[in-house]
Amino acid sequence: MYEKPKCPLIGQNGNIFNLMGIASRTLKRNGMSNESKEMCSRITSSGSYDEALSIIDEYVESLVMDIRRASREGKLGAIETVYLGGGTPSYIGMRRLSMLLYALSMSMHLEPEVECTMEANPESLTAPMVRDIWALGVNRLSLGVQSFDDEVLRILGRAHDAEAARAAVRAAQERFENVSVDLMCGIATPMAQAEYGVAKKSDIPVIFTAVTDPVAAELANADGTPVGEITGTSDKLPVEAQLKMIRQILPEAKNIGIMYTTSEVNSESAIAEYKELAPQYGFEIVDTGISSSADIALAADTLISKVDCITNLTDNTVVASLPVILDKAAAKNIPVFGSEIEQVKIGCLAAMGLDYIELGKQTGKMAAQVLRGEKKASEMNYETIKEAAFYGNTQVAGNLGITLPEDLTENAAELFTEIAQ
């Protein structure tokens, strides 16, 4: 039997293919190319993460030996924090975890005040595992819960469902005082509402974004303060600025059409604001409600026949079918105004709109404050983009025979000269 070369794995990404690559390079450097090829072949045809790790162990001295060697060399003194992650240790099974945690406790002389964190995913964390890793010295558990919504988990390709996620949190809380699902981020109102509905039962902070009216969605109080461990950013439309812009571009227009989803709380509040402010600029709002994307084609035909232009909201269902609306409006020479930069890129005439990249950055800064422990979500009022910017599309304007006013174009955040496909 050949002598196993040493293969340092401390601090490495725990993805099995990454570990395989490290082990393979180690073998090749030690003149063991055939063994490297054999190991890779066996790993790629193995049936589980645990089996794959066993195969790596056959060929190299891996993590436990690495820990013991580092301890003998005096590299593990004054340990304050231990973190088992960068992969998902719960996948390797209790036998391997026991061996690893025992090596850690013996080599690092872990004291109770040392924070020892382990990552785990709901589908691989069991109640017996929770008891065992707690007994072996883990005192903080970080759970990989991206969402408590089954549809979101399906889209993300997660192996567990919402109930498994909740069960994992409950199991962890049976033994651990320090259970970390660091935070959850809900994008748009339905998702933010669903995630907060579950997260508030365990005080997991939620950061939302693209929620037009957090108050109407019952995610914030009327004064902007949080209703619990939840805060975030609003993509509330600058309605008055939009109306003023439309009047500048279309001085003769009278009727503005708006299409919205009747089940969208955000859309209903936005339309109410449009109707309140429109008379100040000489407009009447004509709105058409839909219940699903299947209604859009017919609703667009009806709306276009009644209005001088259309202004779009951030309504998810309508935005998803915006190309249909744009095509029908263009055929009748009806301008369509957008609500954010991407809508102008793909064919809306103009918008006093939002830049969702900037909104995302703003949301990320709030999340970072929570993750760093600088503030709790419950201590932060929700935020909005401070000022709307003008975006215009000169190709659309040319197609419609419209000249965009100079005082708008000269101060534009961005002008697009073509329609993005």
Domain ranges of the chain: 1-76, 239-353+388-416
C-alpha–C-alpha distance, residues 313 and 331, integer Å? 21
- The tens digit of pLDDT for each residue in 218-227 reads 999 999 999 9
- C-alpha 367/C-alpha 353 separation (Å) is 24
Between CA 123 and CA 173 the distance in angstroms is: 16
The region of weakest confidence among 47-56, 200-209, 242-251, 412-421 is 47-56
Select from 127, 9, 12 the least CA-distant residue to 70. 9
Average pLDDT over residues 405-415: 93
Single out the residue of 223, 195, 224 nearest to residue 208, CA to CA: 195
Q: Say if strands 383-384 and 115-120 run parallel, antiparallel, or are unpaired.
A: unpaired
C-alpha to C-alpha distances, 135 to 128, 130, 176, 359, nearest whole angstrom: 11, 9, 11, 44
Is residue 113 predicted with pLDDT exceeding 80?
Answer: no
Q: Which two tokens stand for residue 388?
A: 């709307």
- Residue 255 CA to residue 410 CA, distance in Å, equals 27
Q: What is the pLDDT of residues 290-313, one digit of tens each?
A: 998 899 999 999 999 999 999 999
Other CB atoms within a 10 A radius of the CB of residue 299 amount to: 20
Helix locations, 31-160, DSSP H: 33-44, 49-59, 63-72, 94-108, 127-135, 150-156
Q: Which pTM was predicted?
A: 0.57
Distance CA 179, CA 141 (A): 5
The residue assigned the tokens 């809380």 is: 173
Class of domain 239-353+388-416: alpha beta
Q: In whole angstroms, what is the distance from residue 211 CA to residue 239 CA?
A: 15
Per-residue pLDDT tens over the stretch 333-348? 999 999 888 899 999 9
CA pseudo-torsion sign 162, 218, 321, 314: negative
The pLDDT of residue 33 is: 86
